[in-house]
Structure 1
Amino acid sequence: MTDPDTREPAYRRVLLKLSGEALMGDEPYGISHAVLERIAQEVQEVAAAGVQVAVVIGGGNIFRGVAPAAEGMDRATADYMGMLATVMNALALQDALESHGLPTRVQTAIEMQQMAEPYIRRRAMRHLEKGRVVIFGAGTGNPFFTTDTAASLRAMEIGADVVLKGTKVDGVYTDDPVSNPDAMRYRRLTYMDVIAQDLRVMDATAITLCRDNRLPIVVFNCVKPGALLRVVMGEDEGTRVEAEEAKP
């Protein structure tokens, strides 16, 4: 019989950033039910470890389906459409989390009271303290800002210990690991490494916000079984971006 894991998590409160594309699975766009269920199960395991979880989710998986119609469209209008796509993803994730027994709240930067609460910082923090997962939709509520920036901003507002950037790969590599099997995973990078080498961990605004507020980022594979829990427990999973000197 295996002894239960009695270790303390490395973080008390985390902000999980999920790209919309991560929800597609093998589909060209839309939401994969299997991927959504897997992510919900991963979040459930982390919440069971006593970690408070907030989520910012992108909308690329849905907006990709209407992107041809958005060509030539005013940028602000297209960005507002993208914000609506993030709300659709937030509601889908909320449904998946609640099917696993996790109390969840969706808060949006643009008011839509029939579906979600408006974003109120103190209310979001109170939900987290009560063990609810809080999903932030509609980005920052402003065009010209990405959901990466929204994730950094919300993480700082709620006092998160770290931003966990969920992607389809195991971290940041020296080269494309698909085309180059000798590519090495960086275990640690500095914010300036990311900016100077244009590593595209997050957009420059998000990286700068994290750097200025010394908020660490961990890039990991969000659909890899157990990866989220391993990151939260402080194991060697993914790539950590912080102010200290980094090694490949």
Structure 2
Amino acid sequence: MFKRVLLKLSGEFLANENGFGISPDTTAQLARRITQALTGTDVQLAIVIGGGNLWRGARNGQGMDPATADYIGMLGTVMNAMALQDAMETAGSPTRVMSAIPMAAVAEPYIRRRAIRHLEKGRVVIFGGGNGAPFFTTDTTSTLRAMEIGADVVLMAKNKVDGVYDSDPRKNPDAKFIAQATHLEVVERRLEVMDATALTLCMDKGLPIVVFDLFEDNNLARLFAGERVGTLIQS
């Protein structure tokens, strides 16, 4: 069973059916799902959320300075973190947002020991603002924060994809499901799990990754209870 978990969410989990913006109803449903999974457990949960529902540097930032485009994306993650915090607390989970980019009026500054203390007190901690520097994805932020807080695992949440396949199952009906693999196998086979920098960090530190379908009934609760769900990647 996991004691401390880092859950990686994409910004699209908060979006409307078109995959853009923040939908209060969708965000509330997500928050209830997470809160229900936590209920009755001793799991300490931290979350990193992306900003793709609001801004994608590669697409929206064409013609801009790449660093500026990335900073805009990081601000988008703080907006998502605030929206999710509001929904989580409405659902009954005490929550704190911590931002790598200082903005004291809306979020606490990211301080490692303070984040750990929040987790120990039973609060969900949402990390926004990326890692405070451009040119890194929220995948990399997830692995960095997981290592800093001493998480047991990184849970990579997916929508309607129940794990890792040898090719895209949405395009190839013959794609084969992979129940377990090593970090090195994922790198060598170029399986789409997370970006290469993040995956290499996990491999170097022996940090397990679980790729799973967040919206399959009870998957998150089953993971918190120590059951095997989705694809496990470990050394």
Q: Say yes or no: TM over 0.5.
A: yes
Give the unaligned 5+ runs of structure 2.
none
- CA distance in 2 between counterparts of 1:18 and 1:232 reads 16
Aligned partner of 1:101: which letter?
Answer: G
- CA distance in 2 between counterparts of 1:184 and 1:114 reads 48
Task: Quote how far apart the aligned CAs of 1:67 are.
Answer: 6.9
- CA distance in 2 between counterparts of 1:87 and 1:219 reads 24
Pair 1:69–1:161, CA change in 2 (3 A): closer
How big is each residue's C-alpha offset from its partner over 1:155-191, in whole Å with a ceiling of 9 and x where there is no partner?
0000100000111111111222223333222111111
- Name the counterpart of 1:131: 122
- Name the counterpart of 1:171: 163
Aligned partner of 1:13: which letter?
Answer: R
Task: Quote how far apart the aligned CAs of 1:195 are.
Answer: 1.1
State how many pairs are aligned: 233
- 2:80 paired with 1:78: no
Pair 1:214–1:68, CA change in 2 (3 A): closer
- 2:20 paired with 1:32: no
Pair 1:129–1:185, CA change in 2 (3 A): same
- CA distance in 2 between counterparts of 1:97 and 1:27 reads 23
Contact 2:6/2:154, CA 8 A, preserved across alignment: yes
How big is each residue's C-alpha offset from its partner over 1:112-144, in whole Å with a ceiling of 9 and x where there is no partner?
000000000010000000000000000100001
Contact 1:53/1:133, CA 8 A, preserved across alignment: yes
Pair 1:95–1:40, CA change in 2 (3 A): same
- CA distance in 2 between counterparts of 1:226 and 1:35 reads 17
- Name the counterpart of 1:7: none
1:15-54 equivalence runs, <5 A: 15-48=6-39, 49-54=41-46
Aligned partner of 1:228: which letter?
Answer: L
Pair 1:176–1:200, CA change in 2 (3 A): closer
How big is each residue's C-alpha offset from its partner over 1:5-26, in whole Å with a ceiling of 9 and x where there is no partner?
xxxxx10010000011233252
Contact 2:158/2:214, CA 8 A, preserved across alignment: yes
128-137 or 67-76, which moves further after superposition? 67-76
- CA distance in 2 between counterparts of 1:68 and 1:193 reads 30
Contact 1:39/1:222, CA 8 A, preserved across alignment: no
- 2:83 paired with 1:92: yes
Q: SS of the counterpart of 1:201?
A: coil
Give the unaligned 5+ runs of structure 1.
1-9, 244-248
Percent identical among aligned pairs is: 57
- CA distance in 2 between counterparts of 1:102 and 1:167 reads 22
